[in-house]
Chain A
Amino acid sequence: MFEFKFADIGEGIHEGVLLKWFVKEGDTIKEGDSLFLVETDKVNAEIPSPVDGKIDKLLAEVGDTIHVGNTVVIIDDGSGAGDITRGIEIKQEPLSEEEKGAGVVGEIEISSEVIESSDEGKQEEKEMKTKVLATPVARKLAKDLGIDINLVKGTGPAGRVMKEDLHEYKKKNEGIIESKYIKETNVFAQPLGDTFLKPEIKREEIKIYGEVERVPISRVRKTISENMVLSKSVIPHTSVMDDFDVTELVKLRTEQKNMAKEKGISLTYMPFIIKALTIALREFPVFNSSFDNIKDEIIYKKYYNIGIATDTPDGLMVPVIKEVDNKGILEIGKDIETIVEKARTKTISLEELYGGTFTITNYGALGSSYGVPVIRYPEVAILGIGKIDKKPVVLNDEIVIRHMMPVSLSIDHRIIDGGDAGRFLLRLKELLGNPMLLLLS
């Protein structure tokens, strides 16, 4: 008996569908006669008999899937009987890694997936929107200078943008180079047309290790976040701190509180501090400036508008008291009340948020003593005020109880040195330590 096994017919196939028997049990056949027709991927192969003999048994029916190695038909070739089993459904032993695909043609992917028809010869018009001509060196220079090279008119051969063109372009367009500059649309914008370098902010994936809730932030919060990043990325901060003895100021305020109340003003320490600041800013103009690092110039401002960092239900806002140098303490007090109220009730106009030259943040109002304030870009300094507390201090070699106010001054260290900061703080200390000076200055 000869067991005819279905063999790999040479395409790396593993199985096929039996389409047709050319023989039936009892037929006499010769070597080379077709036994059956098998369909593999698109190839229908007639499988010839390797021996002469008589068909003893057909082990598969039309429509069966036959696997390589299955016995498909038993042929009586006169060699005697053996144990025969129907082997159609027997799975082959799994092959080892190295044996697999070791057929002469390897393992070819077979699929009837239809790909798009060719559009050969039907392609649309050429679009010749080419890039501006420039060497990679010039492109790199443009990138370094923050220039969009496509906006530069080239003077080289065939309009090539040369390195000189880029330098020329930069000179001409100082301060209005688009790609890396602030668009003045947020509540902190300066209406002065000043522009300053803005860093690119890298964003990284946040990994999460448990249940979370994602809440989109408000526009105000987004503005705060952008401005904080801008400030801390651009400005090299440093801070100096001191405790001011404001016992005299506390006394003065207590005496004048009722007088102010009659005028409808609730008198806080803030107007006094602002008044002192104005005096100090006049004496130290660099603290009332901005730094233009594109032109490498310091912009000294001849106007004094003080921002008050205000805690509102929506987040931090900084309304601005304008022209404090022309106002008295009570008037400043009234202004503060009005504007802070507007900020908290969202009735503030953009006008009232613009144009600050120096900012005060009063974390003392919330009970904190010490802080390291972040400068409000493009200002160059910010004054942080802590809570006024009675503290034991040494005065004339005696321990006495004094009203102390902790103060932090953050500065833009690019243009303000520690020495200036120290002197500025000392002057403020003097003014606030002896409030009579506020009236006399």
Chain B
Amino acid sequence: MALLNNIGALTHALDKEMERDSSIIVYGEDVGYEGGVFRATVGLQEKYGKDRCFDTPLSEAAIVGTAIGAAINGLKPVVEIQFSGFVLPAVNQILAHAARMRNRSRGKYNLPMVIRMPYGGGIRALEHHSESLEAIFSHIPGLKVVIPSTPYDTKGLLLSAIRDPDPVIFMEPKRIYRAFKQEVPEEDYTVPIGKAKVVKKGSDITVVTWGALVREAQKAIEEVEKEGISAELIDLRTISPIDKETIIESVKKTGRFLVVHEAVKSFGAGAELISIVNEKAFLHLEAPPTRLAGFDITVPLPRGEHHFIIEPRQIAKKIRELVKF
């Protein structure tokens, strides 16, 4: 049992799995020699050689395209896109090919591949470095979209993603790469894709979020708890497919629903969750299911970014509003 942060858990999980399964290859920009810009793949090239862990040119379409070919031919590529904002050149490969290969080949080929990417704001980064694009991938049938928020889940979900027979988009909230540590068991374990986690039980309102905002929601919930409001917190963990059962069960109990996400509000994952709640828990609702999400704008550069980032006080305010509705 080691105390690891989210980056440490990534490195540890990749290392363990590469050791266990020789068909796994890891590559991307700066991934090999440098160990990645965020140091997620540190030491892997040294340990497994340049054939299994290597650098690529700046070529997202090629990184994903070659991964598709490699996966069809029996390898298990785990590729890194340096920032989720850089994935756009690869979107054609992901949407038009990776997501459809099983269907297109009528089940003959499946693609056991993982596309890792740091995402999200709050770290005063450059343009194209702060977006949250989970909804784009979640909208496409054939892709699974996973976002862990803790070291334990990072390892468990990454192992599930690597072992999944189909493409998984693995989005890493970079703001909390090194923000805290947690006990991560040495032994092999997985966290199932498509299963949300009830982080904290409560009776007055269900709050669903993911990524870096899980921690912010926890702070907000502690605050409203002092006022006698009991909030249930769910870390969605998998954006697609959504764990409807856990959410519906919770809303049936609490009667209120708030989804919080960093991604822009319009056409976001929050809207999908609210639809599910409306369809499946309508008769239990005490207040309108509500979204707290990013503004519909490009994430501002460092000087204005704090206006965009959702803070605990905003979450707490929304919780109060809904409980008093």
Contact = CB atoms under 8 A, between A and B. Distances in A.
A118 interface: yes
Contact of A115 (B37, B178, B182, B191): B182
Given A101-B125, A104-B126, A133 B174 contact: no
B178 A41 contact: yes
Interface stretch (A123-131, A169-177, A374-382, A396-404): A123-131
Contacts of B150: 115, 118
Contact of B181 (A105, A114, A118, A135): A114
B39 A118 contact: no
Interface stretch (B55-63, B136-144, B283-291): B283-291
A106 B152 contact: no
- Of the listed residues A109, A115, A117, the one surrounded by the most CB atoms of chain B closer than 10 A to its CB is A115
Interface in B1-51: 3, 5, 7-8, 34, 37-39, 42
Nearest to A109: B179
Contact of A105 (B125, B180, B198, B255): B125
A291 to B, nearest CB: 31
Contacts of A108: 38, 123, 174-175, 177-179
Nearest to A12: B123
A437 to B, nearest CB: 59
Interface size bucket, A side? 35 or more
B249 A126 contact: yes
A98 interface: yes
Nearest to A134: B283
Contacts of A41: 5, 178
- Of the listed residues A113, A116, A131, the one surrounded by the most CB atoms of chain B closer than 10 A to its CB is A131
Contacts, number: 121
B319 to A, nearest CB: 18
Interface in B257-298: 282-286, 288
Given A10-B34, A111-B180, A117-B183, A106 B253 contact: no
B252 interface: yes
A262 interface: no
A64 interface: no
Contact of B283 (A43, A112, A123, A135): A135
B192 to A, nearest CB: 10
A106 B178 contact: no
A134 B255 CA distance: 11
B124 A42 contact: no
A106 B34 contact: no
Interface in A118-164: 118, 120, 123, 126-131, 133-136, 139, 160
Interface in B131-181: 150, 152-153, 156, 174-181
Contacts of B303: 97-98
Contacts of B177: 108
A12 B182 CA distance: 22
Q: Identify whether the interface residues of A are mostly helix, strand, loop, or mixed.
A: loop
A70 B8 CA distance: 28
Interface size bucket, B side? 35 or more
Contacts of A113: 179-181
A84 to B, nearest CB: 30
A398 B301 CA distance: 91
A100 B302 contact: yes
Contacts of B3: 114
Given A100-B124, A108-B175, A115 B197 contact: no
B129 interface: yes
Contacts of A43: 39, 42
A97 B306 CA distance: 12
Contact of B175 (A109, A120, A123, A133): A109
Contact of B197 (A101, A114, A120, A128): A120
Given A114-B182, A129-B253, A134-B283, A107 B152 contact: no
A106 B129 contact: yes
Given A108-B178, A120-B156, A126-B249, A97 B302 contact: yes
A110 interface: yes
Interface of A: 10-12, 41-43, 97-98, 100-102, 104-118, 120, 123, 126-131, 133-136, 139, 160
Interface of B: 3, 5, 7-8, 34, 37-39, 42, 123-126, 129-130, 150, 152-153, 156, 174-183, 191, 197-198, 249, 252-253, 255, 282-286, 288, 301-303
21 contacts: A10-B38, A11-B37, A41-B5, A42-B8, A42-B178, A98-B302, A98-B303, A100-B302, A104-B126, A105-B129, A109-B123, A111-B180, A115-B182, A118-B152, A118-B183, A120-B197, A126-B249, A135-B282, A135-B283, A136-B286, A139-B285
Given A10-B38, A108-B179, A118-B182, 5 more contacts: A101-B302, A108-B174, A110-B179, A115-B181, A160-B283
